[in-house]
């Protein structure tokens, strides 16, 4: 059947979406491009400018008739019965699609002293500054991530004019200090809510039973030890302040008694 006599229902072509991937076969080459069979009733057209990223002088320098090629849908015109294709892989994310607060996955493409560049499928990779990699202090970016690592990042900001994307890894992880603080706070609140008589009561003697094997206590992390030290130091400071105030009040009382005694014994 001649191409001019083909008449495909519009709803068939409307099901084809932009960026959709096909493996096709070159049916014919022309001065303007190539006609590719992608398994649809209507063949697709690859313009000479869409054969590759670099400029092309002759179509035959890139593709030949009968060659199998990878193509992506660029645009569909159901009424015109036309499918425009491209052999240049489209971006996963266009600039207009990138918004702050988005969470995306990417691959670390390059490491620098000031951070890491992550390819998220956009025209340019985004930058994760060294301060946005982790909540902990790090001296070298390579201590945490390597080139080729797949990471999940959050978009902090996007500048479409400068084509810059600011990303963060630590924004997707809760601060460890906050987690520990919540755990300790809940623990002490439960202790304070316990009735006084229950806290002061001595445990009832247990019946003789087989001795239990001693359980090894978990080793506290550096963050837990720091938090415990800070809490204990706060208690010591409160105790010292109370004792200091008490000694001052006692000294003031003695001075007052001495002054009244001297006034009483003074000659009239």
Nearest to 150 by CA among 113, 121, 174, 114: 121
pLDDT of the residue at 228: 72
pLDDT of the residue at 2: 40
Collect all residues with Cβ–Cβ distance below 8 Å to 141 and sequence separation of at least 6.
Answer: 111, 112, 113, 115, 116, 130, 133
The predicted-structure confidence for 1-38, as pLDDT tens digits, reads as follows 344 445 666 677 888 999 999 999 999 999 999 999 99
Residues in the chain where the model's pLDDT stays below 50: 1-5
pLDDT of the residue at 11: 72
- Model confidence, pTM: 0.53
């Amino acid at each position: 059947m001649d191409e001019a006599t083909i008449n495909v229902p519009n709803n068939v072509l409307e099901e084809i979406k932009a960026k959709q991937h096909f493996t096709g076969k070159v049916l014919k080459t022309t001065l303007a491009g190539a006609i590719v069979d992608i398994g649809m009733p209507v063949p697709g057209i690859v313009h000479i400018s869409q054969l590759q990223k670099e400029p092309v002088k002759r179509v035959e320098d890139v593709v030949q008739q009968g060659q199998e090629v990878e193509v992506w849908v660029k645009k569909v015109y159901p009424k015109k019965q036309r499918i425009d294709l491209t052999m240049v892989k489209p971006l996963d994310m266009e600039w207009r699609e990138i918004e702050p607060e988005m969470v995306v996955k990417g691959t670390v493409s390059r490491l620098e002293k000031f951070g890491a560049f992550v390819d998220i499928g956009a025209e340019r990779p985004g930058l994760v500054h060294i301060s946005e990699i982790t909540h902990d202090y790090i001296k070298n970016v390579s201590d945490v991530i390597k080139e080729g690592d797949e990471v999940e990042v959050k978009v902090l900001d996007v500048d479409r004019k400068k084509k810059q994307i600011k990303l963060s890894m630590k924004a997707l992880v809760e601060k460890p200090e906050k987690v520990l603080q919540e755990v300790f706070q809940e623990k002490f609140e439960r202790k304070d809510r316990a009735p006084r008589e229950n806290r002061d009561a001595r445990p009832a003697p247990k019946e003789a039973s087989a001795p239990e094997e001693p359980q090894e206590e978990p080793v506290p992390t550096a963050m837990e030890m720091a938090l415990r030290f800070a809490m204990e130091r706060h208690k010591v400071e409160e105790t010292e302040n109370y004792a200091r105030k008490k000694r001052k009040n006692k000294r003031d009382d003695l001075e007052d008694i001495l002054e009244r005694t001297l006034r009483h014994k003074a000659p009239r």
